[in-house]
Amino acid sequence: NMIGAGGETTSTTITWAMAELVRDPRVMKKAQYEVREIFNKKGIVGENNINELKYLKLVVKESLRLHPPSPLLLPRECGQACEIDGYRIPAKSKVMVNAWAIGRDPKYWSDPERFYPERFVDSSIDYKGTNFEYIPFGAGRRICPGITFGLINVELTLALLLYHFDWKLPNGMKGEDLDMVELFGANVKRKNDLYLIPNAPLPSLV
């Protein structure tokens, strides 16, 4: 059930993206400005305008690097014995790829723990699974079939949230104090719920 499976991973991705945005006011302001600039010109908030949100797409891509909703990709079975980096893997072995660890590997990413969407500017890295340092949706014949469905849902929902509301943490909490502890499982969720306060801006600003 692609829709059912995509619902939980989509909500997890949106939650992590919002958490990263409220932690970094610079990125939040930049993404929000773009969304309001594009949608104010069009007079409508809809999926037809999503491709114009270049920076928001970078935000989503960076969020998926740090927080792939499914940290361990679907298991594969080795069709024949092989050796990889000195490790012998017998035929019929079940292997799993740790997409979470790959996305934070300093061999491939500078300052890997930093949320920095600009790292993908002018980058050829995409979601197709051909860049093995970035595989939040997997790769090959078993790549996630719901990539398009999932991305449009994440991007449109984030765009709507940023367009209609300004966001802040409760009780005067600062972004750097936000708990980012993960709860590992089939999906990597936040250990603690994310609480944010929405504030509708003045009509003249939206």
The tokens for 174 are 């600062």
Reported residue count of the chain is 206
Binding site, annotated residues: 144
Q: Which of 183, 186, 151 is nearest to 17 (CA)?
A: 151
The tokens for 55 are 């920076």
User: Residue holding tokens 């934070």?
Assistant: 104
Binding site, annotated residues for heme: 144
Strand bridging mode 189-190 / 94-95: unpaired
Residue 148, burial from CB neighbour count under 10 angstroms (0-12, 13-18, 19+): exposed
**CB–CB of 95/87 below 8 Å?**
no
